[in-house]
């Protein structure tokens, strides 16, 4: 069965392609554990998840996924250095209070981080704001100003700039519009960006 049919979310399909057989994977904000369950069954990974919302944690446990119920931002410090091969941060970056701190912690506990985020630079967002004069509301950002879980609004250009400042190494970048992968004018055309990032190797 195609991963997309199982997981629905287009970024999950890309993420599952990035993760190799047998890897140690931590999914931050793992929801109901669907991605981890798929990775366990199909890639035989050692799967761990962190999720805050109780109902989702229960669903993940019922699926047989190892999941820790707790706050993502404060839960990372318990994990030892290099505990994971891949840490997945899927559609969560924009919801974090301290995204940079979390990214640094992730790169401490994992060799690679797979980060996926909705692109605030997408043309529909721009058009929505320009013509309505209101906070953008699109399929990708469907919330009202007061009930949005998103506390940061970043575009692909913003993220690229941060990557440069932090000295992270981008192993792969992929852009999605619906289920279509594309690379033309990503900051305008891509709804979701998926990055595979690792820490720079510092000469001792």
Residues in contact with another protein by CB under 8 A are 48, 54, 57-58, 61-70, 78-80, 83
State the nearest-atom distance from the C-beta of 99 to another protein, in Å: 22
State the nearest-atom distance from the C-beta of 16 to another protein, in Å: 20
State the nearest-atom distance from the C-beta of 110 to another protein, in Å: 12
Q: Which helix (H) or strand (E) holds 35?
A: helix 34-43
To the nearest 5 percent, what fractions of the chain are helix, strand and coil? Answer: 40, 25, 40
CA atoms of 67 and 91, how far apart (whole Å):
18
Tokens 């318990």 map to which residue?
78
Backbone angles phi, psi at 140, to 5 degrees: -80, -35
State the nearest-atom distance from the C-beta of 151 to another protein, in Å: 24
> Do residues 72 and 28 lie in contact, with contact meaning Cβ atoms separated by under 8 Å?
yes
Strands 169-177 and 192-198: antiparallel
Residue 32 or 191 with smaller CB distance to another protein:
32
Residue 109 or 192 with smaller CB distance to another protein:
109
Q: Which helix (H) or strand (E) holds 114?
A: strand 110-118
State the nearest-atom distance from the C-beta of 44 to another protein, in Å: 11
DSSP state of 153: -
Residue 70 or 166 with smaller CB distance to another protein:
70
Residue 63 or 199 with smaller CB distance to another protein:
63
Residue 80 or 203 with smaller CB distance to another protein:
80
DSSP state of 94: G
């Amino acid at each position: 069965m195609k991963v997309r049919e199982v997981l629905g979310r287009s970024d999950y399909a890309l993420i599952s392609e990035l993760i190799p057989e047998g890897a140690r994977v931590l999914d931050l904000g793992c929801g109901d554990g669907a991605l981890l369950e798929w990775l366990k069954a199909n890639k035989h990974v050692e799967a761990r998840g962190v999720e805050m919302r109780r109902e989702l944690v229960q669903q993940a446990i019922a699926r047989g996924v190892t999941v820790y119920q707790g706050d993502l931002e404060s839960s990372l410090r318990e994990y030892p250095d290099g505990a994971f091969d891949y840490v997945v941060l899927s559609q969560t970056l924009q919801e974090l209070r301290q995204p940079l701190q979390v990214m640094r912690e992730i790169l401490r506990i994992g060799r690679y981080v797979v980060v996926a985020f909705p692109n605030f630079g997408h043309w529909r967002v721009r058009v929505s704001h320009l013509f309505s004069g209101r906070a953008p509301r699109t399929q990708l950002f469907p919330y009202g100003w007061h009930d949005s879980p998103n506390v940061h609004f970043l575009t692909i250009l913003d993220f690229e700039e941060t990557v440069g400042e932090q000295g992270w190494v981008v192993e792969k970048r992929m852009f999605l519009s619906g289920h279509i992968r594309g690379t033309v004018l990503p900051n305008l055309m891509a709804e979701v960006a998926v990055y595979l990032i690792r820490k720079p190797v510092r000469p001792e």
